[in-house]
Amino acid sequence: MERNTMSYKTKQFLMFAGPALILFSMVIIIPFVYGLYLTFTSWDGVSVSKPFVGFANYISAFKDYYYWAAIGRTLIYSAFAVILINVVAFLLAYLVTSGVKGQNFFRAGFFIPNLIGGIVLGYVWKFVFNRAFVALGEAIAAGTVPSLLSTPSGALFCLVLVSVWQYAGYMMLIYVAGFMGVSDSLKEAAMIDGCTPSQAMWNVTIPLMRTSFVTCIFLSITRCFVVYDVNLSLTKGEPFNSSVLAAMHVYNKAFVYKDYGTGQAEALILFVICAVIGITQVYVGKKGEVQA
Amino acid sequence: MNASEQAARKKKIQHVIMIIVLILVFLLFIAPFILVLINVFKTKGDINSDPLALIGAHGFTLRNFPDAMAKMDFWNVFRNSAVITFCATVLTILFSAMASFVIVRNGRWKACAILFAAMIASMVIPFQVLMVPLVSVYGGIFHILNSRITLILMHTGFSVSMATFMFHGAINTNIPLELEEAALIDGCSRWQTFWKIVFPLLKPTVATVAIIDAMAFWNDYLLPSLVLGEKQLYTIPIATQMFYGTYSTDIGLVMAALLLAMLPILILYLFLQKYIVAGVTAGAVKG
């Protein structure tokens, strides 16, 4: 048969994978390579010429105080958000797998924030922080109360809070799958051997759910690190640019200040930091995996 | 009271406490939505004077809706979002199912191995790394931005890797090779085998991919905002953002716009929540 000829293989490959290959290359491969090239040019976004500048963009990225301040802020924000998202998600998952009435209803309910995009969520919460919380605070304190969003640390706190609220329901679903993957017989065996329920949880269930933890922490790190839309709608970087996270800084550098070369270099550095943290986490997490 | 009765009682109390905790947390989760819902029926003045009151001093009003709908051009942006989401989801499913078929069944071909490896590797690249070159190539060189078709194709391009990965797993584990061999003996070409035998068996994965990608496309803000610059092409997230920028002082209108932006997907969720929860779980656990 003609199944081993090069032309048969090429035809088959292009017939099935052609459309995916073309689109994938157009929006990911080509821009990625072209982006690497852009970091070595100083392009203003308008002119035809893209003068070659060597490593100047990387040097100015390393010297960009606001960039590193934004990265530092993103690290703080991500640390708090990732820990809280996973703690809340795990507790919710525990509650909705414990066999209480209506647990499917609660699972579906906690997932609701994920249905709605970050832009809309950010504005909803902006209303809550600026109006509802202020009204509540004034009713309790009987005086004027400033909005949480009006102070730098308050704004960062609000971003963490909204992210936890937004992602906890999603991560909960992964932990629920993890809980259901641990068979009851193992827990029962541990209890017969004299474990209390909380000991069984710490020594049997949680170690067996390691994959869920690795997945959830990885997903929440990679999402928090490049969060943009909630940042834009909730705080817009204010007050006084004190809540500009890394992704927003990169966006502004390129599209607002038209410094495409440096913006692209900063985006690449952000990607490398994010990838190193994410991969290290997965590597460390998988190393200690146990099997039942 | 004997010991077992006491244990049963303790368990019952625990159960009740858990339900109470769950209800409280649930109320906290939906509180922001409830706040929007109670304020959307108030006048601007009433919201400003007391955002926590259930009903405003000037009573119940529906006036915010028609105003907000006209100002954000609601039906038009809704249609844009729907068309873009639908087309991009369908293309993603078709193209990635096809690609995964040839990749799974011919894993030893170099082209397949390279494409699949490139797709897996690409999943860690954040959008921020691609947005500047994307705009400079397709806006600066080819001038094809400001088009729904461009956005649909870009959405598809960004999501094929993940979808191919999921179909890859499904074909690998769920489609027996014997089935395809039988089809071959019956005279089916590979193309016919795929569409008549394999694709219909991939329905569960199709549903998962459709749910995950449709939600992502519907809610995406950054890519559409870079591609669509003209007002008549806006999607719901962009229209919401623009609307807020212009009318943020008229809080009654803002409430109506936010509710309108959330309503379509919430209504859909009411009917499809079982499938959405299952699909998202399947996607997240496999991814």
3-state secondary structure of B145: coil
> SS in 3 state form for A166-219?
HHHHHHHHHHHHHHHHCCHHHHHHHHHCCCCHHHHHHHHHHHHCHHHHHHHHHH
In B68-87, the residues whose Cβ lies within 8 Å of chain A are none
Taking the CB of residue B246, how many other CB atoms lie within 10 A of it? 11
CB contact A269 to B (< 8 Å): no
Which residues on A lie below 8 Å from B94 (Cβ)?
19
Local confidence band at A291 (pLDDT 50, 70, 90 cut-offs): low
Q: Is the dihedral of CA A229, A234, A236, A237 positive or negative?
A: negative
pLDDT tens digits, A228-270: 989 998 888 788 888 899 899 999 888 888 888 888 999 999 9
CB contact A169 to B (< 8 Å): yes
Give pLDDT, residue A180: 85
Q: Report, as an integer, the average pLDDT of A136-163.
A: 83
Under an 8 A CB cutoff, do B219 and A116 touch? yes
Give pLDDT, residue A3: 67
Mean pLDDT of chain A: 86
Give pLDDT, residue A85: 95
What's the number of CA atoms in the CB half-sphere (13 Å) around residue A130? 15
CB contact A136 to B (< 8 Å): yes
CB contact A256 to B (< 8 Å): no
Note whether A261 and A42 are within 8 A (CB).
yes
pTM of the predicted structure, to 2 decimals: 0.89
Under an 8 A CB cutoff, do A128 and B31 touch? yes
Note whether B158 and A27 are within 8 A (CB).
yes
Give the DSSP letter string of A226-275.
T--HHIIIIITT-STTTT--HHHHHHIIIIIS--HHHHHHHHHHHHHHHH
Give pLDDT, residue B143: 81
Under an 8 A CB cutoff, do A38 and B161 touch? no
What's the number of CA atoms in the CB half-sphere (13 Å) around residue B183? 17
- What is the number of H-type helices and E-type strands within chain B? 14, 0
pLDDT tens digits, A100-114: 888 888 888 899 998
Which residues on B lie below 8 Å from A39 (Cβ)?
none
- Among B135, B237, B284, whose Cβ lies nearest the Cβ of A173? B284
Note whether B191 and B173 are within 8 A (CB).
no
Name the residue type at position B60.
F
Percent of chain A scored above 70 by pLDDT?
96
DSSP state of A85: H
Under an 8 A CB cutoff, do B26 and A106 touch? yes
In A12-41, the residues whose Cβ lies within 8 Å of chain B are 12-13, 15-17, 19-21, 23-24, 26-32, 34-35, 38
CB contact B273 to A (< 8 Å): yes
Distance CA A266, CA A67 (A): 8
pLDDT tens digits, A62-74: 888 899 999 999 9
b vs e for A204-224, b when ≥16 Cβ sit within 10 Å of the residue's Cβ?
A: bbeebbbbbbbbbbbbbbbbb
Task: Give the residue with greater pLDDT, B5 vs A171.
Answer: A171
pLDDT per residue as tens, chain B (287 positions): 577 788 888 888 888 888 888 899 999 899 899 888 888 888 777 777 777 777 777 777 788 888 888 888 889 999 999 999 999 999 999 999 999 999 998 888 888 999 999 998 888 888 989 998 898 888 877 888 888 999 999 999 999 999 999 999 899 888 888 888 898 888 888 899 999 989 999 998 998 899 889 999 999 999 999 999 888 889 999 998 888 888 877 888 888 889 988 988 889 888 888 888 888 888 777 65
Domains and CATH numbers, chain A: 60-287 (1.10.3720.10)
Which two structure tokens, joined as six digits, stand for B123?
Answer: 């999943």
- How many contacts (CB atoms, under 8 Å) link A and B? 264
Which two structure tokens, joined as six digits, stand for B115?
Answer: 């494409």
Give pLDDT, residue B195: 92
Give pLDDT, residue B158: 94
Distance CA A116, CA B261 (A): 9
CB contact B254 to A (< 8 Å): yes
Under an 8 A CB cutoff, do A107 and B218 touch? no
Under an 8 A CB cutoff, do B281 and A177 touch? yes
In chain A, whose CA is at the least distance from the CA of B129? Answer: A267
Under an 8 A CB cutoff, do B161 and A28 touch? yes
In chain A, whose CA is at the least distance from the CA of B88? Answer: A23
Interface predicted TM-score (ipTM) of this complex, two decimals = 0.87
